[in-house]
Amino acid sequence: MGVSQQAAETRRRRTPGGDPTRFGVTRTTRAVGYVHLGPAGDAGAEERDVVGGTIVTVSCR
């Protein structure tokens, strides 16, 4: 079950006015990559567009 995007974007703190809390975030990302192939067959990534994603887990570090 995924965690809402809002939960990952909210800045959490240990106590009001305290230090920011660090989180470990696991996410899946769907992306479209555009690759250029040179005459010698070497590949180089030109562009990468993220088309979707889901935050899978968030854990306090």
Number of independent structural domains in the chain: 1
- Model pLDDT, residue 28: 95
- Which tops the pLDDT comparison, 8 or 51? 51
- Model pLDDT, residue 59: 83
What domain range is 13 assigned to? 5-60
- Which tops the pLDDT comparison, 56 or 12? 56
Cβ-based neighbour number of residue 55 at 10 Å: 17
Q: Apex CA 33: angle with CA 59 and CA 47, to 5°?
A: 100
- Model pLDDT, residue 1: 46
pLDDT, tens digit, for every residue of 9-42? 566 665 565 666 778 889 999 999 888 888 888 8
Closest to 25 in 3D by CA, of 59, 2, 1: 59
Using the predicted structure, report yes or no on whether residue 3 has a pLDDT greater than 60.
no
